[in-house]
Structure 1
Amino acid sequence: DIFGYYVDKGWMCVQVFFVRQGKLIQRDVNMFPYYNEAEEDFLTYMGQFYLDSRHLKPREIFIPGDIDQESVEVLVGDEVKVFKPQRGEKKQLINLATKNARVSLTQKFDLLEKDLAKTQGAIENLGKLMGIPTPVRIESFDNSNIMGTSPVSAMVVFENGKPNKKEYRKYKIKTVEGPDDYASMREVIRRRYSRVKRDGLTPPDLIIMDGGQGQVNVAKDVLRNELNLSIPVAGLQKNDKHQTNELLFGDPLRVIDLPRQSEEFFLLHRIQDEVHRFAITFHRQVRSKNSFSSKLDGVEGLGPKRKQKLLKHFKSMTAIQKATVEDIHSLGIPEKVAEALLDKLNDNN
């Protein structure tokens, strides 16, 4: 399997060529927003790629030159050989996969530009249907926690119907114990709009909560009764199949009638998908770091900064366990600390 990728405007496209017996038999292309370093999200994608039953592991994998080879080897296992070709036909195939990924992204952005006029019309019509000024800037929130662990919240911003990723914000929940969505959202709304008010930031024309009446009422209560702010708040409810279903707005709340095939409904669906994906991605990062750090606890001399160095360099606990004292010492960690760490990890296994 031959991998190439390209990133632009906050999106990543990964192109995979499946070569069998010297012949290119199939291609796979996938595009998605990325939130971290490009290499980190590419590695995440590779880790998930072979979990799909449709993708059988080949004998050999070829990856671009800027991707860490050891990290890929950890992800795919010992039965697969990983190469970073520097020249020849295999290098040309990687270049071709990368070029195809770039072309696919360019075509996607061209289509988005053509849809811009439709999107602008959708924003204006959405404002009319809700009885508010055109919501040029929309801020949307979602919580994420699994079994009550590492609760987080996230905010995405859409301006003129397009995501403004520079304005996205992540929130670790500080004041709430356990999985309490309402209390978590109360904290986040308070933190966000206290800062908007205090620092004179641009307020949104519309706030969209990922949820129904309860989430909307919590946001309204904080904005009106605590912060004395008047910002329209709507809720997006999902049906039993976890699909965007209804827009709730008004005082009292009512369902805003939106045809399922309308541009307005499509825009709201995109916003809800985006905030959910962003929150889930952040939650996975936090859980991963918490899990990683907990296994490193109890080693004298191994503080947060050194744990972070290990995480950044080795990428996985398995890779640390396979490391030598010299490997760890090369990161600026004392030899005695490295020895104690490896003793602890190997004793646990």
Structure 2
Amino acid sequence: MNIRRIFVVLFAAVLTAACGRDSNFSIPTAPGAIPGENSWQGRIPWSPYMVIHNDAGALSGYQTAVRELMAHDAIRGARVGMSESEVMNNSPNIINQWLAAQGLELLVIVDNYLLFHDNLEEIMDRVIALHPGATTFQIGNEITTILPKTGRTTTIEEYMKAFRRIYDHVSVKYPNITLVSQSTISAETYGSQELEKMVGLGLIRMSPQRVIIGMNVYGGPTVAGNASVINSQLRSYRVWVTESGSLDPDRQVGHVANSYPALRNQLRAERIYWYALWAGDTGQDNGFGLIKNPYNPPLWESPLYQILTGKR
């Protein structure tokens, strides 16, 4: 998405000036994972979560990368999606199935297009049934900005009506499931203004035990704007940054070192999902990826990926 390209270049510099390096950072090592001499633990303030796109053709490359990352405790969960047709045809997604079988915790995105259906309760039943074991579902992503202008679009008011219906349904039928609100866009103060509208439209009346606040953060101004809402009206809610990253592979390590502490300190982010394990071999987002060539290994690996897997 173009907005990532606009803001991500300046993000690391802005946050470095504002926050500096978090010298007290540590993440406990997962059972069975033993940090080696080149372990990322203690070197960078990584969050072991990332976006993994549901492209079946990339499965072989994903398998190689995820196994390497898991061996170094560099991935514990993935943010994944499904197509509208897969849900409507009750067709499991092969990528999501394989990731779940590895023991990774899935954050499953309920696609924006599914929110246009009248039978939202049935839609949620389908999505949940297709992901046995998953306990966290995100209802939409950048809902007012990511949909193509030539197709059907929506407003934040319409979104909140749909979110409320899903929240009510899940609260009664699935007591073990937590919802994540749609991620607001990382664009100047637009995202924080939209989040504030969501508060006024009823988000604040939903239980903090059943809802986590989601947001995508690529640009510096987004941090300050979201922080003002998160740390006042939404102080009792957990926060997950569901996308963050650097378009330049050579700046990925610096982005983690300089930006992740700010996201934790200013936004109280429990998790930060890197965008993305693979973001295409070509195209406007390809620089965000930790790997390339998943269709035709051997994989190209970014410097950050090599640090996470103990290769440098």
TM-score, normalization by structure 2: 0.31
Give the strand-richer structure, 1 or 2. Answer: 1
TM-score (norm: length of structure 1): 0.28
